[in-house]
Amino acid sequence: MWRRGANLEGATANFVETEQLVEYEDLTSSFIQLRGSIPLLWEQIVDLSYKPRLSIIEHEETHKVVQRHFHDLSQRYGKIIVADLTDKRGDEGDLSNAFAAEMDRIPGVRYIHFDFHHVCRGGNFDNLQALYNQIEEAIHKQGYFLMNTKGEILLEQSGVVRSNCIDCLDRTNVTQSFLARKSLDSQLQLMGALLSSESISLSDNIHDTFKKLWVEHGDELSLEYAGSYALKGDLVRYGRQTLPGLIKDGMSALSRYYLNNFHDGVRQDALDLISGYYTVSQGSSSPFHNGVDSSSYLPVASAIIVGGITATTFTLSQVGRNAQHLISSIICAGLTVGVVALVKANGKQFCSRPRLCGLI
């Protein structure tokens, strides 16, 4: 949560190259996709709310940041197709509109917005066909890599699809698995494993293995970036939401909430230190000794809130026996509401924050 968007060099907070490899007889083929944070300068500061607000950072270098990012991708991968899966409403919509405006100024890169939550609402995974229809011709032109056992390169991939949502995890993984299945059908058809009219969906064994791999892939990336399993895994595995899947998603969402608010600051400091982004200087004081750690007061505040709710409930149950309990209930309820309001108003101060490096 503490690293969003891009830095001034154009490197994004979350960026992953995924290569899907398949071998059949004397042929080996691969298909590469990218996922990466929206390469603007933006932040999403945790504040105890379930979905913290997104804020775009106004900076004179913004356009150059986007240019640097896509220049680097074009140099490494060739033609780029950007699939932006964010919502068109609220904070996400503002960020998406800003991204679209910048992409209009980037030549040679095709940008497509696809509101995943709107188009695929109700867990209808197959609606991703609408996105595929828009980019099918371009994906076929980009192709995939194909090599024989002699090491002779028969085909090369000339471009990639770069997908993103906000955190580039759940929606992105579902979308990438859909595109990967389309490519795998084409690869196996060319390699002679399938007829031109066939698909891996006709083979339960192959299709189940494919879906399992992509579910596990999504989980691994989510554990690395967010500390919990990926959401929407059912859409990849079954093409629809199931009750056990909804329960699992709920548990993962709660886990993410806890980690984002109370652990990510320390984890970010560890990454900054290990990666060398922060350099220890003997002449300077430790950043961990500066100021008061407000998060240490959260357990006390939580205990007061729980105690206040308990006391309010108990005294209300006794009102019928003694009218004085009503006054006690009002006092307990008022105290509880006051503490809740205090915590909410200062939510950012109670969360785990990185101390070694700034956000940009």
- Residue 57 identity (one-letter amino acid): I
Helices marked H in the chain — which ranges?
A: 62-77, 90-103, 116-119, 129-142, 170-191, 204-225, 233-237, 243-262, 264-274, 298-317, 324-345, 347-350
CA distance 349 to 360: 20
**pLDDT tens digits, one per residue of 245-295:** 788 888 888 888 888 888 788 888 888 888 888 888 777 777 776 655 555
The model's pTM is: 0.83
Ranges of each domain in the chain: 15-262, 266-279+295-350
pLDDT of the chain along its 360 residues, tens only? 578 899 999 999 999 999 999 999 999 999 999 999 999 999 988 888 888 889 999 999 999 999 999 999 999 999 999 999 999 999 999 999 999 999 999 999 999 999 999 998 877 888 999 999 999 999 999 999 999 999 999 999 999 999 999 999 989 999 999 999 999 999 999 999 999 889 998 888 888 899 999 999 998 998 888 888 788 777 777 777 778 878 888 888 888 888 888 878 888 888 888 888 888 877 777 777 665 555 555 666 666 667 767 777 767 676 666 666 677 777 777 877 777 777 777 777 777 788 887 766
